[in-house]
Amino acid sequence: MSDKEYQPKSKAGKWFNDRLPLLTLGAHLTDYPTPKNLNYWWTFGGILTFCLLTQIITGIVLAMHYVAHADLAFASVEHIMRDVNYGWLIRYIHSNGASMFFLAVYIHIFRSLFYGSYKSPREVIWIIGLLIYLLMMAAAFMGYVLPWGQMSFWGATVITNLFSAIPLVGDSITTWLWGAYSVDNPTLNRFFSLHYLIPFLILGLVVLHIWALHVPGNNNPVGIDIKKPSKDTVPFHPYITIKDTFALLMFMIIFAGFVFFSPNVLGHSDNYIPANPLVTPAHIVPEWYLLPFYAILRSVPDKLGGVILMFGAIFILFVLPWLDTSKVRSAVFRPIYRQFYWIFVVDVLLLGYMGAMPAEGIYLVLARVGTIYYFLHFLVVLPVVGLLEKTDPIPLSISEPVLSGGAKLSMAKKDNEKF
């Protein structure tokens, strides 16, 4: 909370605020001192909030028309597309919104990786963020099942079967998840129930995520601790709000481009074929945002091993703050890490590409190389580089001159010119 104790001006406001300090909270959020050198990569927090609210609102509306029954789900989606007023618009916003949500969250995560936002004292923010990411994947997966097309059905089959890899109890767990002896109506029904629940869990975690952020305050492109409030900070409103709004509008233009002019390009055409338990589509591909993990799963010739590695690829992120041994946050001052960062980005994109390709021949080889490097990056590169790397001199503050390394000052300045 800000240093000055907030006092509402009106009597009624004071009366209310004494009983429930909502106005104090509002004032805190408005005045919240934010580093003034935040660049556009920092606008994705706001964009993600927008995405979540969009999904919740369009989702609630869709649920008014959707029927969660294996015999009716596909038809009810067509009913939404054809008969419900603006149904096509709402559904396309919801389905493309999922992709936009993931696009934004990946940029948000990679921003954190570049500027070391996951490091002390922000580990808890990072971990809550990963929990949100996990819930997002669960929600997206279950949401994809609801239209009950071929990809819905077989995606659900493949993903739920992952649990059958668990020794001894695997099959019982899978049957329990299905509520039947295969993916069937009970599965669809419970997925709908959970798909409706999860966004609200995410919303709760987002509140915690922001709360945890407001304790140490934002990291920034220079990655140094800053005094708050000071010459290095600006109040959140209007400076950050207007900038977030601008970035959000740019984001919405891309979003609208998908919704209105290419609404099915991110989906798979097989999902317009009603689910058929007797025929598996020739190519089972998950949605694009899950492809890197899918590639990791397929790169292992052993079932249990593949499942372990795939989940490991996500859970290794939870210990990332302790794997990275460097005290310097921002990659701007880490010449070696910076190189590895970009190799890692390429590696993840490569894995994503391999996830979309058939698991054979050169693709399989490359997927294996990519998988090995993915883990090497976290288990070897990060700890070792952190210990050996000679970092560039770091400025003492965002706006004041540095003690050493004049070149870096001009660089910090250049950041500011961005606004």
Partner 1 sequence: MRSFSLKKLPVLFFIFFLIINHSFGSEQTKPIKVDWSFKGLTGKFDRASLQRGFQVYKEVCSSCHSMQYLSYRNLGEPGGPEFSKEEVKAIAASIEIEDGPDSQGEMFTRPGRPSDKFKSPYPNVNASIAANGGAYPPDMSVLVKARPGGSDYIYSVLVGYEDPPEGVILDDGVYYNKYMIGNKIKMSSPLMDGIIEYSDGTEASVDQMAKDVTTFLSWAAEPELEERHKTGFKVMVYLILLTVLVYLSMKRIWSRVDSEE
Partner 2 sequence: MSQKEKKTNRRDFLYTASYTVGAVGLGAVIWPLIDQMNPDKAQKALATTEVDITNIEPGKEITVLWRGKPVFLKRRTPEEIAEARSVKMDDLPDPQRDEERVKEGKDEWLVMLGVCTHLGCVPLKNKGDYKGWFCPCHGSHYDVSGRIRKGPAPKNMEIPKFEFVDNNTIKIG
**Positions that interact with partner 2 (CB under 8 A):** 154, 157-158, 160-162, 164, 175-184, 186, 190, 277-284, 298, 300-304, 306, 358-360
**Nearer to partner 2 (CB atom), residue 301 or residue 335:** 301
Distance in angstroms (rounded) separating the CA atoms of residues 59 and 70: 19
Q: How many CB atoms lie within 10 A of CB 186?
A: 13
Q: CA nearest 46: which of 210, 217, 214? A: 210
Strands (E) in 147-230, as ranges, are none
The reply on whether position 261 binds partner 1 by CB under 8 A is yes
The residue within the footprint of partner 1, chosen from 142, 143, 270, 363 (CB under 8 A), is: 270
Distance in angstroms (rounded) separating the CA atoms of residues 361 and 209: 43
Q: CA nearest 418: which of 13, 43, 166? A: 43
Please state the closest distance from residue 377 (CB atom) to partner 1, in A.
17
Site string for partner 1, 352-371 (x = CB under 8 A): xx--xx--------------
The residue within the footprint of partner 1, chosen from 108, 268, 298, 377 (CB under 8 A), is: 268
Q: Considering only residues 34-93, where is the footprint of partner 1 by CB under 8 A?
A: 36, 39-41, 75, 78-79, 81-82, 88-89, 92
Helices then strands, each counted (H, E), the chain: 17, 2
The reply on whether position 197 binds partner 1 by CB under 8 A is no
190 binds, among partner 1, partner 2, none (CB under 5 to 8 A by kind): partner 2
The reply on whether position 239 binds partner 1 by CB under 8 A is yes
SS3 263: coil
Contact 94, 55 (CB under 8 A): yes
**Nearer to partner 1 (CB atom), residue 89 or residue 203:** 89
Distance in angstroms (rounded) separating the CA atoms of residues 379 and 323: 7
Q: Which two tokens stand for residue 30?
A: 């408005």
**Nearer to partner 2 (CB atom), residue 279 or residue 384:** 279
- Surface-to-core class of residue 81, CB atoms within 10 Å of its CB (0-12 exposed, 13-18 middle, 19+ buried): middle
The reply on whether position 265 binds partner 1 by CB under 8 A is yes
Q: CA nearest 367: which of 376, 357, 382? A: 357
The reply on whether position 280 binds partner 1 by CB under 8 A is no
Please state the closest distance from residue 240 (CB atom) to partner 1, in A.
10
Q: CA nearest 130: which of 317, 349, 290? A: 317
Contact 141, 183 (CB under 8 A): no
Contact positions vs partner 1 (CB under 8 A): 36, 39-41, 75, 78-79, 81-82, 88-89, 92, 103, 114, 221, 231, 234, 238-239, 242-243, 245-246, 249-250, 252-253, 256-257, 259-261, 263-266, 268-270, 272-274, 282, 285, 288, 291, 331-332, 338, 342, 349, 352-353, 356-357, 399, 411, 413-416, 418-419
